[in-house]
Amino acid sequence: MIAIHYTALSPVFELNVFHSPEALMEYDYFSIESILAENQKLQCTFKYDIPDMGHLGGGNERDIKMLSKRQIPLWLAYTIIYSDWADFSIPTPFNAKVRNALKAEPRSVRLSSLVGSGGLWYGFGKAVMDILDDDQAEEMSDAMTKAFRGRLTEIVDQAQHFAALGPVGGGSSSGDSAQLFREGLDGTERELFGLAQESTKRSKRWYEESNKGRR
């Protein structure tokens, strides 16, 4: 699981990853972000015939047949996988192609295209990690952490830039690489962008008011 902490006057972020189900339940139980992330789907391949469950994943058949594939919401896939009814494939947003692209240049990947506008790439990845074995979970955690760190500086830099421009600034063409990067932010990164922008504005106001008091 990813937990991000941001201080008001300095862009300090902390990335935490939890593997314990107890810690996840305690942290995530009332989390809207977690609920949204767990609505993403996994492709599950069933190991057995499952009678009277053909409706799962939007199927029309009465029963699920062995080796049939279904797109199952993650919150439901937990039960299916832990019951050993099915195996699952690593979702496309975290496959080797995406990981290699992030490794080569983290800022070039449009995370929003992988999980939908406003989707939570990091949150989805955290949820998938919970059903991977330790080695796979560690590999995914490492890839996500490196991607986060590789994109964070650009997120904060752009947020500070737009905060400095004020309400009349910031007109960029659609082909602007900075704008393309912003459009590719996932929901978590968009929240960080807003926090960094607001922090810069508050710091600027504090500095200006402090200077006025010295005159």
Tens digit of pLDDT at every position of the chain (215 positions): 344 443 333 333 333 443 333 344 444 555 777 788 888 999 999 999 999 888 887 778 899 999 999 999 999 999 999 999 999 999 999 999 999 999 999 999 999 999 986 789 999 999 999 899 999 999 999 999 999 999 999 999 999 988 877 665 555 544 488 899 999 999 999 999 999 999 888 888 888 778 776 66
Phi-psi category of 110—alpha, beta or left, where left has phi over 0 and alpha has psi -120 to 50? beta
Q: Could you tell me if residue 78 is inside a domain? A: no
Q: Could you tell me if residue 70 is inside a domain? A: no
Q: Could you tell me if residue 66 is inside a domain? A: no
Distance separating the N- and C-terminal Cα atoms of the chain: 49
Could you tell me if 28 and 61 are in contact, meaning their C-beta atoms sit under 8 angstroms apart? no
Q: Could you tell me if residue 129 is inside a domain? A: yes
Q: What domain range includes position 122?
A: 3-40+91-214
Q: Could you tell me if residue 48 is inside a domain? A: no
CATH of the domain at 178: 1.20.58
Report the alpha-carbon distance of residue 59 to residue 22 in Å, rounded.
Answer: 33
DSSP 64: B
Buried b (16+ CB within 10 A) or exposed e, 142-172: ebbeebbebbbebbbebbbebbeeeeeeeee
Q: Could you tell me if residue 68 is inside a domain? A: no
Q: Could you tell me if residue 181 is inside a domain? A: yes
* Number of domains present in the structure of the chain: 1
DSSP 50: B
Report the alpha-carbon distance of residue 193 to residue 187 in Å, rounded.
Answer: 10
Q: Could you tell me if residue 8 is inside a domain? A: yes
